[in-house]
Chain A
Amino acid sequence: MVITDEIIDYVGILAKLELSEEEKAQAKKDMSDMLDYVEKLNELDTEEVPAMSHTFPLSNVFREDAVTNGDDRENLLKNAPEEKDGCYVVPKTFD
């Protein structure tokens, strides 16, 4: 499959990645090679086969909505790139 600049730019938006021109050229080639390779799956007729997301039968697990963990705010915020007054600091999101 031919990967166009438009596709790469669109996937970049979905993936939240900003690629340099060099990286874009490489990504076009890599993705195109890989998609050609996975074309192999089309040799198989899967019309009647149900898609399988989980191998073993699993059903949803419900529990009471009760808090069991303690307040760990101070420790959690130690990992934040930037924090202020017990909150995460992010760039301005609207004017």
Chain B
Amino acid sequence: MDITKLTAVQTGRLIKDRELSVEECVNACMDSIEKQDGNYNCFVTLDREGALKQAKEVQMKIDANELTSPLAGVPCAIKDNMCTANLLTTCSSKILSNFVPTYTATAVEKLQDVGAVILGKTNMDEFAMGSTTETSYYGITKNPWDVTRVPGGSSGGSAAAVAACEIPFALGSDTGGSIRQPAAFCGVTGIKPTYGRVSRYGLIAYGSSLDQIGPLAKDVTDCAAVLEAICGHDKKDSTSAAGLDTDFMSALKDDVKGMKIGVPRDYFLSGIDEDVKKHVLAAAKTLEEKGAVVEEFDLGMVEYAIPAYYIIASAEASSNLERFDGVKYGYRTQSFTDLHNMYKKTRSEGFGPEVKRRIMLGSFVLSSGYFDAYYVKALKVKALIKQAFDRAFEKYDVILGPVAPTTALTIGESLSDPIKMYLGDVYTVSVNLSGLPGISLPCGYDSKGLPVGLQLLGKAFDEKSVLRAAYSFECAFAAERRLPNE
């Protein structure tokens, strides 16, 4: 048996049945990482020693029947923007290249509480700003389906590590598509939960009104299991919501009879690859054949989501990233004349070009004289986008569409033209602006053999409908499902 090919829940079951030990699973993943990660560069930090220590402790608790979660003993990885006590947390930035947190993010702590074993921290776009994982200070992550292509981003390391069977599941974060788009590019499954579903405590902030932590995994079942483990109210994050309706595993039913699914016509008008369109519409057909009521409709506001998003996200980023000043933690410039010069040189040397670009734009749109014209305008448009979704969800249980207009892009293709890169986020950013849950899962392979992602969106806090639709589709698609290099 190749342990690394198992899903997280399968691994957990075999551990529970004493067919596998936690240590065996940790070693199998570590070996897979050591064998492959030189090619893919999914990890910034590996913690073999710490993982083996955790494995021993978890095994003892499993043997004593103290840990019974489906994830007990299962190895996992964490995107490097979530704080892990005593383990380097860089946000893939030079400015945090020496930062060792004294505390652990709530979502990560919850995983540890159920017995998941953390093997390391995954690569990402610097401060989660990017859609390709090319802006990392630690080098580009490569797509396991084709190493000349990007894995998507910003949670590219997490997605690629799962696709390459280096790890059964990983946590990512999604501010404008950063879980869903890399999941699509790498042919894995990822959920951006409803805003507030998962505590953001210990997640290094990018756009605080948009950020959400979620799982990237091999299938829908694993995503449900991880979400169940990490969700819930946290006193340390006042925007986190009380845990209503969180038995996500119970939503995994191969049954969409009578479910109302809306397909936005305006998602398919222009700028979308024919291959992507074909497979996504075929997925709608599959769900219809299983008994769902599928209908096309006009969502509206689609073309305004990206401009509104980039104003709001950059504004919040410019404010959130003010804390990196070279005083309390992180990188500090070597030579300076006075305090302000130290701040400026530290930040200019510590941040990469995309981060500086967004801090500059954000500072501008928040500045006196431009605040109303740009920032307030974007917040008003956000209200209109939310209204468009509210109208749609009066009629439908789930909205179905693509995750991205293309499959994985070639390395270097989008970095030279930021606006072109931003346009790739057309189907994902509106979901963050509206706070809604969305899942990304594979639904086909294009003519180059690259995975195509399907996106299913739900009402606020109705992850269960999304999971049920996704699980039903996954059951129908199982025979066509592939791994890279197959």
Residue ranges of A at the interface with B (Cβ–Cβ < 8 Å): 7-8, 10-12, 14-19, 23, 26-27, 30-31, 33-35, 37-38, 40-44, 46, 49-56, 58, 60-61, 63, 72, 75-76, 78-82, 88, 90-93
Q: Is B139 an interface residue (CB 8 A)?
A: no
B304 and A40 contacting across the interface, CB-CB below 8 Å: yes
Q: How far is the CB of B344 from chain A (nearest CB, A)?
A: 4
A41 and B307 contacting across the interface, CB-CB below 8 Å: yes
Additional A-B contact list (17), CB under 8 Å, known A52-B382, A63-B235, A93-B338:
A14-B364, A15-B359, A15-B362, A16-B343, A17-B344, A17-B348, A33-B419, A34-B419, A38-B311, A40-B307, A41-B307, A41-B308, A46-B377, A55-B434, A55-B460, A56-B195, A79-B329
Proximity string of chain B (334-363) to chain A, C-beta cutoff 8 Å, 1 when within and 0 when not:
001011111111011001010011011111
Q: How far is the CB of B408 from chain A (nearest CB, A)?
A: 24
One of B59-67, B177-185, B272-280, B319-327 at the interface: B319-327
Within 8 A of A (CB), among B10-47: none
Q: How far is the CB of B397 from chain A (nearest CB, A)?
A: 19
Q: Is B299 an interface residue (CB 8 A)?
A: no
A79 and B347 contacting across the interface, CB-CB below 8 Å: no
User: Within the assembled complex, what's the spacing in Å between the Cα atoms of A51 and B433?
Assistant: 13
- Given A53-B209, A75-B102, A38 and B310 touching (CB < 8 A)? yes
User: Within the assembled complex, what's the spacing in Å between the Cα atoms of A33 and B384?
Assistant: 24
Which of A33, A37, A72 is packed against the most chain B CB atoms within 10 Å? Answer: A37
A31 and B435 contacting across the interface, CB-CB below 8 Å: no
Neighbouring A residues of B332 by C-beta, 8 Å: 81-82
User: Within the assembled complex, what's the spacing in Å between the Cα atoms of A80 and B322?
Assistant: 17
User: Within the assembled complex, what's the spacing in Å between the Cα atoms of A10 and B370?
Assistant: 13
- Given A34-B310, A55-B434, A78 and B331 touching (CB < 8 A)? no
Closest to A75 in B: B102
B325 and A31 contacting across the interface, CB-CB below 8 Å: no
Q: How far is the CB of B130 from chain A (nearest CB, A)?
A: 14
Residue ranges of B at the interface with A (Cβ–Cβ < 8 Å): 98-100, 102, 195-196, 209, 235, 238-239, 241, 303-304, 307-308, 310-311, 318, 322, 325-332, 336, 338-345, 347-348, 351, 353, 356-357, 359-364, 367, 374, 376-384, 386, 418-419, 433-435, 460
27 A-B residue pairings within 8 Å (CB atoms): A11-B360, A16-B344, A17-B359, A18-B347, A23-B353, A30-B357, A30-B360, A30-B418, A38-B378, A40-B307, A41-B377, A41-B381, A43-B304, A44-B384, A49-B380, A51-B380, A54-B209, A55-B382, A56-B460, A76-B102, A79-B99, A79-B328, A79-B330, A80-B328, A81-B332, A88-B327, A90-B327
A17 and B360 contacting across the interface, CB-CB below 8 Å: yes
Neighbouring B residues of A91 by C-beta, 8 Å: 336, 338-339, 341-342
Q: How far is the CB of B103 from chain A (nearest CB, A)?
A: 8
